[in-house]
Amino acid sequence: MEPIGKLYLLPNLLGESDKDLSIAPGVKEVVNKLKHFIVENEKTARRHLRAIGFEQPFDDVELYPIGKHSDPSHYSSYLKATNSGQDMAVFSEAGLPGIADPGAVIIRMAHQRNIKVVPLTGPSSIIMALISSGMNGQQFSFHGYIPKDKGDRIKKLHNMEKAVSSFGSQIFMETPFRNNQLLEDILKHCSHSTQLCIATDITLETEFIQTRAIKDWKSAKLDLSKRPTVFVFG
């Protein structure tokens, strides 16, 4: 009986950044041994794989989509290659798979089938924002993308503010093209004394990370539109 293949959790860059500063050296060796990748977007995945050091021809590679336009009914067949001892990888559009990312469903299936899951070292904008914020790193919560509806969003902001004293730092995100609207709501509806870290374009040349009280952000002239940003309350 052939051994079951492994499922690697393959890190991606957070943008046009220095691979050597973001991706562990051994990742290139691992990725070039793989021929099966579970990805969000097949077209961009090819470009992202090249960026982290994949050198093999794509004619020999299978890509399995798990993006918003894919069919979840097909997911159960995606890990079939591991039955014949072949290793596979889950590959995110940015950062680490499984965090604010659809890869978690595949990782859960791997555990259910006793497939060894192997995380590889790479960047996480969420953790990098937290460690750069100067806020509580002993206790924190990640809320992912907060509600799109304005009323629900403001309610969520108030609840996260209240949670800081009992549950530590509160980390959240927004779709980049709505960042300015979110910042406007924070400045208008949240307490002046709440500490807010804005971490934008992490690992890129345009990186901006700063923590201030909300009252001090009111005079700042920031344009966060279309720039990947992580927010932290503390």
For residue 213, the domain's CATH number is 3.30.950.10
As beta bridge partners, residue 220 has none
Q: What is the pLDDT of residue 82?
A: 97
Asked if residue 196 has pLDDT above 70, the reply is yes
pLDDT confidence of 67, banded at 50, 70, 90? confident
pLDDT confidence of 2, banded at 50, 70, 90? low
Say whether both 110 and 139 belong to one domain: no
Length of the chain (residues): 234
The tokens describing 63, both together, are 């890509």
- pLDDT, tens digit, 9 for 90 and up, residues 116-157: 999 999 999 999 999 999 999 999 999 999 999 999 999 999
Say whether both 15 and 103 belong to one domain: yes
CA distance 157 to 150: 10
Q: What is the pLDDT of residue 64?
A: 97
CATH of the domain at 25: 3.40.1010.10
pLDDT confidence of 3, banded at 50, 70, 90? confident
Q: 0.75 exceeded by the pTM?
A: yes
Domain extent, residue 106, equals 7-119
Cα 198 to its chain centre, rounded Å, is 16
104 burial (CB, 10 Å; 0-12 / 13-18 / 19+) is: middle
Which single residue is written with the structure tokens 């977007």? 41
Q: What is the pLDDT of residue 199?
A: 98
Say whether both 166 and 229 belong to one domain: yes
Of 66, 88, 119, the residue at which a domain comes to its end is 119
Say whether both 112 and 12 belong to one domain: yes
Rounded to an integer, the average pLDDT of 217-227 is 95
Sheet with 117-119: list strands edge to edge: 62-65, 36-39, 88-91, 7-10, 117-119
Tally of structural domains, the chain: 2
Cα dihedral 186, 141, 124, 64 in deg (nearest 10): -100
Q: What is the pLDDT of residue 1?
A: 58
